[in-house]
Amino acid sequence: MILIITVINKIIGEIYHTVGLAGERTKDDNSQGIDNSSGVAKAYDFERVNSLLAAKADSLEVVENKLAWLVAKWNGEDIAPEARLVSYPDNFDTRSLYDEFEISARLSLIEAPDLVRRRQMEMLIDKLFPKIKAELREKMLSELQSWPPKIEEVEGATGKGTIAKEGKNSLANKLVKGKK
């Protein structure tokens, strides 16, 4: 029994090593689930594994679509060979929706370029609506091209500050007042 468990642990260790997640292990903790690698090393490993998983998902998607086409042909159905009947994810990111909102807020605070903020919003749209129809996603992305709105300051009614052109209760107005 001990021999079987030892062999299983060695196989698990080899799997980790094959995908590049072996980390900095010592002789004693090898394949026991203990990882002594730094945060930077783990982030690098994650990016590499994420790329590996995305490549494997693309390969499996192609194979499964070909199998689905073959089964359809076998059943006498006429489906285009390039039809995407099966779709695998292309990203295995571990960031949560909360993390995406936090990144968006921080990009706004540092006044990141509009293009960077739009790209972040695209990622947010994909995370909020993973199964959205292509037409609706394209409409959202087209509306995103005019985002973020430009704020024009106008003199306030009392002359003691400026308000955004959108109105005194707008979020932009609160941001403008907060800068002074």
Q: Which sequence spans correspond to the domains of the chain?
A: 95-148, 149-180
pLDDT in tens, 61-113: 999 999 999 999 999 998 887 888 888 888 777 788 888 889 989 998 998 99
Burial (CB count <10 Å: 0-12, 13-18, 19+), residue 54: middle
Distances (CA, A) of 130 to 30, 90, 133: 38, 12, 9
Tokens at residue 51, please?
């790329």
Please tell me the predicted confidence (pLDDT) of residue 39.
72
Mean pLDDT of 43-58: 81
